[in-house]
């Protein structure tokens, strides 16, 4: 056989070795499970390493988890679920201190305690940091603990699909493992497990311009979606206003915090002079600044028709080198610009996906045995807008919970209901120009095409393995076109139409473009015939995942005709609580997407959060 | 510009590939592409035309000379260099140029990369004769006058090449993990109390904690090239990071010094500074190795 199909068995499989995956694996190991991490990148190469700012945790006198919860709920624009938010804020302190006990090199105060700093939207300086490289240290510290515990890591194994039973109702389905491609050898491997935790991170590659890594292709989200798990609130995507134009590398908010100024091509300080933010100017919230920048460019006042200038020269060399040294390196290395001599070009870029795989506060999805944690998941703590410093605590809090639960620890019954049965309402009149979902007679997806119902775990994995084997053979053997142009057209369409500005017509055009990509994708083939390290094959499969991700984002964006958090609609520039205080769910539904809504849970343990105007 | 790899001829197909193809064409639901052969050819030609036009329209181009090797593909069994002409734009990194070449000329061109911002450590390469991160190297900086000419890109020396620019990292990982690179102190404070660490001590280990496991240092080191068991600069730096961290007790420090004092440990280093020169995170590796040597001497004196 070309593919030496092999099978492995573990109690728990964690897909992904970023912050969420590592924490999940450590938790499962603590609980006594035989756990393995299967990851397409070596764990230390995960994009958690790029996080700069810090981890929000209420650690100090004068601060309290309830304040953190209040800030988070307000930041979410009342689309976060209270049980998830309260769990996050109550558990973040112990999880953060746990990292310290594992040796994470946090920055320190005079008295030797860990340092915290203020961050946007927070009522207390609770962002716990390690220099400007918090994510790097968090990632490495947890990987070190994984090494210490001898957890098995299958690194450079690309997970292609889940092994899920094919019951018609997703809530009856069971996940028995997953199928991976050994990148170095080209072998396909079946992993059989009682619990599978998806921790595959972000999906910024659905956009043309992003702070996300090249590997952030939404694989886990797409796999769970096709296995029947709803994608929750997909329309909520955070765009960061200051990213470098050629690469998308993030220029921290710190530059504006220190006094950096944004100019258009006419030398105007447009945030004030054009009235976008008369009070806060450069320090207005991320979405306001991002929209202002794009308006300038669209109206012909962009520099080179593409970006605006972020100038910090007036701060003086001494202050810049002292507080923003890292920024000088980034601008120099990734844009070829000397921030001491010239302004730095910046434009908005995709940064974070609030939406994701629907889970309850124990990390479990509606498919039994299938979990998700980290950026790929939506437990919903961020609602429609994530506060800076709230993603890293999400990784460790919900990564750990998913790990414990999958390994059998009783975390109590979840308050958040999942799956189609949690539906409160169905979307019936969405005006889509083309029908989304699978093409007629398209390739079979995660759930088998009507064969006998395999329920025996091993048989389920073997069936899935066989399907993936065929998929790989087909892509390698047939003649066809390369995926790269399809991916790039998809990214362009998303950045053009589903960016910080969204309007009905544009969103419909995006759906057409996505449909076109899907159709062209029917013709892709992998030109590299090799079994060894075939990245052509992997990127081709990722592109399929990106198509599904992009479609869920766009469907959600078209459905939600209001302005909430990061989601802005031209025709509907206000928050409509009467109509839209609800989660969007997009479910694959065997290839015929079903869009429905579920209630937001604003009732906390002790109080109910009342929606208020989000102003700072 | 040479074109990339073409598909092996039908008769060169291995038996197993043929079986796979038959299966795929037979019962498989994945089936054949929906465009016919002529349409596929036309689409592929159109892509090539677009690439050529981008090159013609560019003010400047850069010529990549890229090392190619694949043990499984007949044309690539013998290592060779391919050239790719890539349109140059201000801010372009070596990684950007490689990605452009892959996406427009030859999708089999293989290299690791992910973050594009010097934190994931995936793309340490041998660029114009020096170990560098592809994503952190501006193409313009490789030319004296800022106008790019030719850039030579090879896999890291002293490592086994898996394919094209990808090298086997297993040995590097083994060395890293052999120094017990994890906090071992079990005696941590209760509840929400952190271990205290002075600012000075944090400062002392700060640079050592920046390592991104890229392997550039190991590849540049002559000693490591000659002694496969030598721990290498990155692993010793990792040991330094823990040995110098005041939060771990003295017993552990001693244990850690024993590890790096082994036959293939710190004493092998001949302070040639090549690792320090190539480290993309500016870690003073040689200094750290010297510091550990001093600590080891101190420890040994104590036990005399
Ligand atoms: C530039 C930047 C700065 C940020 N700064 C902050 C900050 O200061 N504070 C904060 O709270 N948040 C911050 N964030 C957000 C936060 O860092 C991320 O949301 C978070 O790190 C994601 O972690 P993760 O574990 O979910 O995913 P990742 O770290 O991306 O890990 C994903 C893992 O999944 C694996 N994987 C993916 N697909 C597959 C597959 N098909 N098969 C096998 N394995 C797979 C990958 O190999 C990887 O190991 C920042 C984000 C960015 C981009
Ligand atoms: S010490 Fe520097 S060169 Fe060596 S692996 Fe770490 S980051 Fe790379
Ligand atoms: S791509 Fe991550 S270090 Fe270069």
Residue A495 lies in a domain: yes
- Whether residue B172 has pLDDT greater than 90: yes
What number is the average pLDDT over the span A362-370? 98
What is residue A27's three-state secondary structure? helix
Please tell me the predicted confidence (pLDDT) of residue A448.
43
> What are the tens digits of pLDDT across the range A90-111?
999 999 999 999 999 999 999 9
pLDDT of B28: 47
β-strand pairing of B130-133 with A188-192: unpaired
Q: Does A213 lie in the same domain as A228?
A: yes
Tell me whether residue A580 is in a domain: yes
- Alpha-carbon distance of A197 to A178, in angstroms, equals 10
What is the pLDDT at residue B303? 63
Residues A459 and A474 in one domain: yes
Residue A414 lies in a domain: no
The pLDDT, as a whole number, for residue B287 is 96
Give the other-Cβ count within 10 Å of B12's Cβ: 10
Q: Is the pLDDT of residue A451 over 70?
A: no
Q: How far is the CA of A46 from the centre of ligand 1 (A)?
A: 6
Compute the distance between CA of residue B107 and CA of residue B130 in angstroms, rounded to an integer. 26
Indicate which residue's Cα is closest to atom 6 of ligand 2.
B211
Q: Whole-number mean pLDDT of chain B?
A: 88
Q: Is B198–A100 a contact, with Cβ atoms under 8 angstroms apart?
A: no
Contacts across the A-B interface (CB distance below 8 Å): 251
Q: Which of A146-160, A283-297, A306-320, A424-438 has the lowest mean pLDDT?
A: A283-297
- For chain A positions 162-191, those within 8 Å of chain B (CB to CB) are 184
pLDDT at A1: 36
Same domain, A155 and A277: no
B177 contacts A105? CB cut-off 8 A: no
Determine, for residues B108 and A527 on separate chains, whether the beta-carbon distance falls below 8 Å: yes
SS3 A360: coil
- pLDDT of A452 > 60? The answer is no
At residue A517, does pLDDT exceed 60?
Answer: yes
In the predicted structure, residue B91 carries a pLDDT above the cut 90: no
**What tokens appear for A384 in the block?**
């429609």
Ligand nearest to the CA of A161: 1
- The crossing angle, in degrees rounded to 10, of helices A82-101 and A391-406 is 90
**Among candidate residues A303, A332, A348, the one where a domain is terminated:** A348
Residue range B25-41: mean pLDDT, rounded: 71
Q: Which residue reads 């746990």 in tokens? A: A98
Catalytic residue among A286, A401, A487, A569: A286
Last residue of a domain, one of A307, A322, A348: A348
A320 and A423 co-located in one domain: no
Q: Are residues A559 and A474 in the same domain?
A: yes
In whole angstroms, give the CA distance from residue B89 to residue B95.
Answer: 13
Smallest CA separation from ligand 1 atom 20, residue: A48
Q: Is B29's CB within 8 Å of A444's CB?
A: yes
- d(Cα A372, Cα A398) in Å, to the nearest integer? 9
Q: Is the pLDDT of residue B16 over 60?
A: no
A207 shares its domain with A267:
no
Classify the phi-psi angles of A419: left when phi > 0, otherwise alpha if psi is within -120 to 50, otherwise beta: left
DSSP string, chain B: ----PPPPPGGGS-HHHHHHHHHHHTT-SS-S-SS-HHHHHHHHHHHHHHHHHHHHH-S-EEEEEEEE--TTSGGGSS-EEEEEEEE--TT-BHHHHHHHHHHHT-TT-------SSSSS---EEEETTEEEEGGG-BGGGGSTTS---EEEEEPPTTS-EEETTEE--HHHHHHHHHT--S-----PPSTTPPPP--HHHHHHHHGGGG-----HHHHH-HHHHH-TT---HHHHHHHHHHHT-TTS-HHHHHHHHHHHTSTTSGGG-----HHHHH-TT---HHHHHHHHHHHHHHHHHHT-
Residue A129: inside a domain, yes or no?
yes
Q: Is the pLDDT of residue A256 over 90?
A: no
**Has A401 been annotated as catalytic?**
no
Residue B17 — pLDDT band, cuts 50, 70, 90?
very low
Contacts of A1 in chain B (CB under 8 A): 16
Burial B237-273 (b: 16+ CB within 10 A, else e): bbbbbbbbbbbbeeebbeebbebbbeebbbebbeeee
Residues on chain B touching A105 (C-beta within 8 angstroms): 202, 205-206, 209, 245
Give the ligand 2 atom nearest the CA of B278: 3
* Percent share of chain B, pLDDT over 70: 88
> 3-state class of A230 per DSSP?
coil
B260 Cβ contact list (under 8 Å, min separation 6): B179, B231, B236, B239, B243, B266, B292, B296
- Ligand 3 atom at minimum distance from B280 CA: 3
A2 lies in the same domain as A150: yes
Please indicate, yes or no, if residue A616 is contained in any of the structural domains: no
CA max distance for chain A: 71
Whichever domain contains A431, its CATH number is 3.50.50.60
Residues 6+ apart with CB under 8 A from A145: A22, A26, A102, B182, B183
CA distances from A611 to A193, A264, A381, A614, B86 (A): 42, 36, 15, 9, 53
Cβ under 8 Å to A: B residues 211-230? 212-213
Which residue bears the tokens 């170990």?
B131
Q: Which of A100-104, A264-268, B145-149 shows the lowest mean pLDDT across its residues?
A: B145-149
Please give the average per-residue pLDDT across B211-234, as a whole number. 96
**For chain A, what is the domain count?**
2
Question: For residue A108, is it within any domain?
Answer: yes
* pLDDT tens for each residue of A6-47: 899 999 999 999 999 999 999 999 999 999 999 999 999 999
Helices A484-497, A504-521: axis angle to 10 degrees equals 170
Do A343 and A392 belong to one domain? no
Residue A596 gets the label, from left (phi > 0), alpha (psi -120 to 50) or beta, of: beta
* pTM as predicted: 0.94
Nearest CA to ligand 1 atom 50: A51
Pick left, alpha or beta for residue A584 (phi over 0 → left; psi -120 to 50 → alpha; otherwise beta): beta
Is residue B120 in contact with ligand 3, taking CB distance under 6 Å? yes
Domains belonging to chain B, first-starting first, are: 50-166 (3.10.20.30), 169-300 (1.10.1060.10)
pLDDT level of residue B2 (50, 70, 90 thresholds): very low
Residue A198: both structure tokens together? 């998806």
CA–CA distance, A434 with A445 (Å, rounded to integer): 20
pLDDT on residue B1: 37
- Which are the contacts of B302, defined by CB distance < 8 A and separation ≥ 6? none
- Predicted local confidence at residue B249, as pLDDT: 84
B175: Cα within 13 Å, side-chain hemisphere: 26
What distance in Å separates the CA atoms of residue B173 and residue B168, rounded to the nearest whole number? 10
For residues A497 and A557, state if they share a domain: yes
* Contact residues, B window 55-94, toward A, CB-based 8 Å cutoff: 70-73, 89-93
A461 is a domain residue: yes
Q: What is the pLDDT of residue A453?
A: 67
What CATH number does residue A284 fall under?
A: 3.90.700.10
Q: Which residues of A touch B111 (CB under 8 A)?
A: 535
Q: A455 pLDDT exceeds 80?
A: no
**Is A251 found in the same domain as A116?**
no
Domain stop point among A348, A368, A390: A348
Q: In this complex, which of B4, B91, B115 lies closest to A246 when CB atoms are compared?
A: B91
Q: How far apart are CA A252 and CA A54, in angstroms?
A: 12
Does A187 share its domain with A263? no
Both A332 and A452 in one domain: the answer is no
Quote the domain boundaries for residue A13: 1-236+354-409+419-611
Distance A213 CA to ligand 1 centre (A): 9
Q: Nearest CA to CA, how far is B304 from chain A (Å)?
A: 32
Which whole number is the average pLDDT over A578-589? 97
What pLDDT score does A140 carry?
98
pLDDT-derived band at A224, boundaries 50, 70, 90: very high
User: What is residue B12's predicted lDDT score, i.e. its pLDDT?
Assistant: 39
B213-220 average pLDDT score:
98
In a domain, A10, yes or no: yes
**pLDDT higher than 80, residue A487:** yes
Task: Kindly report the number of other CB atoms within 10 A of residue B145's CB atom.
Answer: 7
ipTM of the predicted structure? 0.93
Residue B29 is predicted with a pLDDT of: 54
| Residue in B7, B110, B242 nearest the CB of A527 | B7
Helix (H) / strand (E) element for A195: namely strand A195-198
Please say if the pLDDT value at position A446 is more than 70: no
**Helix (H), strand (E) at residue A396:** helix A391-406
Residues A69 and A89 sit within 8 Å (Cβ to Cβ): yes
- Tokens standing for A231? 């994608």
Ligand minimally distant from the alpha carbon of residue B130? 2
Contact predicate B44/B60, CB 8 Å: no
DSSP state of A233: S
């Amino acid at each position: 056989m070309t593919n030496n199909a092999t099978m492995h068995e573990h109690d728990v499989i964690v897909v992904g070795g970023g912050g969420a995956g590592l924490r999940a694996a450590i938790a499962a190991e603590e609980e006594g499970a035989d756990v393995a991490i299967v990851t397409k990148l070596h764990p230390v190469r995960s994009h958690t390493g790029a996080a700069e700012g810090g981890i929000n945790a209420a650690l100090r006198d004068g601060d309290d988890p309830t304040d953190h919860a209040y800030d988070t709920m307000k930041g979410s624009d009342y689309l976060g679920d209270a049980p998830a938010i309260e769990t996050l804020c109550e558990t973040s302190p112990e999880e953060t201190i746990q990292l310290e006990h594992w040796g994470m090199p946090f920055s320190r105060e005079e008295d030797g305690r860990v340092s915290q700093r203020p961050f946007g939207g927070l009522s207390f300086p609770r962002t716990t940091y390690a220099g400007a490289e918090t994510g790097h240290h968090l990632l490495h510290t947890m990987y070190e603990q994984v090494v210490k515990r001898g957890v098995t890591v299958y690194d450079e194994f690309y997970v292609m699909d889940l092994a899920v039973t094919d019951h018609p109702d997703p809530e009856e389905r069971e996940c028995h493992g997953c199928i991976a491609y050994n990148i170095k050898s080209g072998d396909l491997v079946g992993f059989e497990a009682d619990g599978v935790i998806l921790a595959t991170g972000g999906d910024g590659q659905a956009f043309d311009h992003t702070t996300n890594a090249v590997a952030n292709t939404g694989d886990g989200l797409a796999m769970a979606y096709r296995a029947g798990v709803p994608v929750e609130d997909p329309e909520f995507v955070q765009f960061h206003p200051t990213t470098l134009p050629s690469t998308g590398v993030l220029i921290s908010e710190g530059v504006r915090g220190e006094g950096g100024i944004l100019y258009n091509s006419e030398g105007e300080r447009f945030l004030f002079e054009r009235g976008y933010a008369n009070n806060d100017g450069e320090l207005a919230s991320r979405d306001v600044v991002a929209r202002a920048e794009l308006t300038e460019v669209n109206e012909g006042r962009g520099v080179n028709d593409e970006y605006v200038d972020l100038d910090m020269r007036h701060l003086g060399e001494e202050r810049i080198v002292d507080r923003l040294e890292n920024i000088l390196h980034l601008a120099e290395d990734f844009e070829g610009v000397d921030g001491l001599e010239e302004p730095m070009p910046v434009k908005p870029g995709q940064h974070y996906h609030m939406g994701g795989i629907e889970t309850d506060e124990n990390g479990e999805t509606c498919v039994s045995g299938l979990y998700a944690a980290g950026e790929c998941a939506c437990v919903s703590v961020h609602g429609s807008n994530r506060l800076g410093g709230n993603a890293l605590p999400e990784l460790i809090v919900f990564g750990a919970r998913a790990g414990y639960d999958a390994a059998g620890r009783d975390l109590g019954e979840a308050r958040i209901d999942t799956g189609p049965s949690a539906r409160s309402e169905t979307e019936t009149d969405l005006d889509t120009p083309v029908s989304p979902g699978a093409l007629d007679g398209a390739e079979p997806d995660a759930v088998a095409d009507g064969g006998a119902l395999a329920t025996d775990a091993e048989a389920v994995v073997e069936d899935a393995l066989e399907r993936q084997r065929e998929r790989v053979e087909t892509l390698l053997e047939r003649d066809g076109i390369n995926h790269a142009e399809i991916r790039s057209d998809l990214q362009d369409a998303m950045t053009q139409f589903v960016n910080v500005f969204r309007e009905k017509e544009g969103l419909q055009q995006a759906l057409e473009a996505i449909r076109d990509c899907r159709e062209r994708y029917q013709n892709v083939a992998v030109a590299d015939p090799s079994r060894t390290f075939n990245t052509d094959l992997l990127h081709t499969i990722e592109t399929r995942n990106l198509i599904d991700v992009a479609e869920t984002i766009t469907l959600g964006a078209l459905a939600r005709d209001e302005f909430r958090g990061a989601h802005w609609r031209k025709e509907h520039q206000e928050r409509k609580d009467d109509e839209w205080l609800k989660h969007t769910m997009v479910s694959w539904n065997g290839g015929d997407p079903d869009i429905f809504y579920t209630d937001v849970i604003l009732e906390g343990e002790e109080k109910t959060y009342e929606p208020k105007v989000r102003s700072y | 510009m040479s074109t990339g790899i073409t598909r092996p001829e039908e008769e060169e197909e291995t038996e197993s590939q043929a079986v796979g193809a038959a299966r795929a064409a037979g019962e498989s639901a994945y089936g054949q592409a929906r465009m016919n052969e002529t349409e596929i050819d036309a689409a592929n030609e159109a892509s090539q035309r677009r690439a050529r036009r981008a090159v013609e329209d560019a003010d400047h181009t850069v010529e990549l000379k890229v090392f190619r090797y694949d043990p499984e593909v007949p044309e690539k069994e013998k290592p060779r260099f391919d050239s790719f002409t890539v349109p140059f734009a201000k801010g372009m990194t070596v990684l950007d140029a490689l990605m452009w070449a892959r996406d427009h000329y030859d999708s089999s061109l293989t290299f690791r990369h992910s973050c594009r911002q010097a934190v994931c450590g995936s793309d340490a390469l041998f660029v114009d004769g020096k170990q560098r991160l592809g994503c952190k190297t501006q193409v313009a900086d490789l030319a004296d006058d800022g106008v790019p000419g030719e850039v030579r890109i090879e896999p890291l020396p002293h490592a086994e090449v898996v394919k094209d620019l990808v090298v086997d990292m297993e040995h590097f990982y083994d060395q890293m993990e052999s120094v017990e690179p994890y906090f071992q102190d079990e005696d941590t404070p209760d509840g929400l109390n952190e271990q205290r660490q002075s600012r000075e001590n944090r400062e002392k280990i700060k640079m050592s904690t920046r390592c991104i496991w890229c392997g550039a240092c190991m590849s540049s080191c002559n000693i490591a090239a000659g002694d496969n068991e030598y721990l290498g600069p990155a692993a010793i730096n990792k040991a330094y990071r823990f040995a110098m961290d005041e939060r771990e007790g003295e017993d552990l420090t001693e244990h850690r010094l024993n590890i790096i004092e082994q036959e293939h440990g710190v004493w092998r280093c001949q302070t040639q500074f090549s690792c320090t020169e190539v480290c993309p995170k500016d870690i003073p590796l040689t200094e750290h190795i010297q510091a550990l040597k001093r600590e080891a001497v101190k420890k040994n004196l104590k036990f005399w």
